[in-house]
Structure 1
Amino acid sequence: MSTPYAAFGRTDQKGRTRAALVRAARDLVARGVSPTVEQAAAAAAVSRTTAYRYFPSQRALLAAAHPETDTASMLGEAPPEDPAARLDRVVAAVTDMIVETEPQQRTMLRLSLDAEPDTGVGALPLRQGRATAWITEALEELRVQLGDAELDRLVLAIRSAIGIEALVWLTDVGGLSRTEAVELMRWSARSLLQAALTTGPPSATAAPAASAVETAGPEESAE
């Protein structure tokens, strides 16, 4: 693997140049633009050739500019011991971040949906499982009680209820305000945890239930 351009020679100056490009990209995304490397370079007063040395593609630029790239944990200082309280703290932090950085989140979601699956190198943040790692950290003490597979499925269920995808649906389709959407996402996370502790998450080998259309007669099929 080649050494990144910013990792050798005049590293301080290169670090400032890279940071300027990232700031410019974030500012453009916040205004609803999906910036190209050329646009970020112009906004940062950096030559196009230099910008491409740091970010060879738009995807690499946006991955670096995404607000959650360097966030390792959402539990904060002195996290509670109770799994439910830990989960609620993480979900509150995640949903607040999503609302605060909604333009960036929507841009990354659109690119993730439009692009071909990544091979791993330079993958977009929405495909790197950061939120699932934060949720897993909150619920780690339940691993013994639930088991590895069951905890993993619970984490996936919670992630599906609290991400940018959920916010887009609840606001654009459901018609909720951002505040209402956040409250509903937090309620969903708490409810999923309670259900898992009471009845357990669905088994990984369980057959999906037949849909109403599959089980109903022709005259009973739902439209």
Structure 2
Amino acid sequence: MKMPYESTGRSRQKARTRDALLTAARTLLGEGQTPTVEQTADAAGISRTTAYRYFPNQRTLLLAAAPVIDRPSLLPPDPPADAASRLDVVIAGQIEILRTWEPQLRAALRLSLDEDAAAPPEDRPVLRRGRAIAWIQEALEPLASSHPRIDRRRLAIAIRAGCGIESWVWMVDVAAISRAEAAAIMRQSAKALLAAAVGAPDR
């Protein structure tokens, strides 16, 4: 297996160079650009030849620039007891992530849409699957005792469908509404889905 360039020799110096390239790429993304390796190298003050040793193409660069959000939970240490309040806290946290990382998440979404189905898993992006679903499922945990008939994972997936970068981009770019309105709709939609599930008759 071929080792990444930065893993061979002078690892600290190479790590600094890689970090500088990623910082430059994220800055350019934040300015609304979709940076190439050349643009990123120029912005970082690093030679293009060197930059290509770390990121052989734009795709690998943008994949590396995508945010890694490893928070196990969006709930506070002392979370609310009821599912509705817990869910609203989680959706508010999800929206904050969208606002903070929107340029990078948009780039990751573009890569996902252009994904080559024949590519090996390690070369595929991108939108790290399942993280937000787990956050929402945690918010819905009180339903296990109060409404055990509800499929909490299925409900979490339905809620996630309306509060991710995909729906954010659609509302902002296609529906042409403000980000504040998009955020409000996401929270209202999540509440409505939960209320519908709780109020649905037993089958």
State TM-score, norm by structure 1.
0.75
Q: 2:170 maps to which residue?
A: 169
Unaligned runs of 5+ in 2: none
Deviates more, 1:155-164 or 1:5-14: 5-14
Matches within 5 A, 1:94-133: 94-117=94-117, 119-126=120-127, 128-133=129-134
Percent of paired sites with the same residue: 49
Contact 1:63 1:122 in 2 (8 A): no
Q: Is the 8 A contact 2:168 2:182 kept in 1?
A: yes
Deviations 1:134-186 (A, max 9, x none): 32333355467257xx3222122111101122122223333322111101101
Task: Tell me which amino acid in the other structure corresponds to 1:56.
Answer: P
Q: Which has the larger radius of gyration?
A: 1
- Read off the aligned partner of 1:44 and give its amino acid letter: A
Task: Say what the alpha-carbon RMSD is for the aligned residues.
Answer: 2.6
Q: Find the counterpart in structure 1 of residue 25 from structure 2.
A: 25
CA distance in structure 1 between the partners assigned to 2:167 and 2:54 by the alignment: 33
Is residue 61 of structure 2 the alignment partner of residue 61 of structure 1?
yes
* TM-score normalized by the length of structure 2: 0.82
Gaps of 5+ in 1: 204-223
1:11-63 per-residue CA deviation (whole Å, 9 max, x = no partner) reads: 22222111111111111111121112222122112222322332233222112
Where 1:75 maps in the other structure, the secondary structure is coil
Q: For 1:114-153, what aligned pairs fall within 5 Å after superposition?
A: 114-117=114-117, 119-126=120-127, 128-140=129-141, 142=143, 145-146=148-149, 150-153=151-154
Q: Between Structure 1 and Structure 2, how many residues are aligned?
A: 198
Separation in 1, partners of 2:191, 2:37: 41
Residues 39 and 140 of structure 1: CA distance in aligned 2, closer, same or farther (over 3 Å): farther
Q: Secondary structure at the match of 2:121?
A: coil
Contact 2:115/2:125 (<8 A) preserved? no
How far residue 100 of structure 1 moved from its aligned partner, in angstroms, is 3.1
1:172-205 Cα shifts (integer Å, max 9, x gaps) = 33332211110110111122122223328xx9xx
Distance in 2 (CA, whole Å) between partners of 1:190 and 1:36 is: 41
Deviation string, structure 1 residues 68-96 (Cα, Å, up to 9, x no partner): x1333341541414333332222111112
Residues 86 and 140, structure 2, Cα contact 8 Å, conserved in 1: yes
1:190 aligns with 2:191: yes
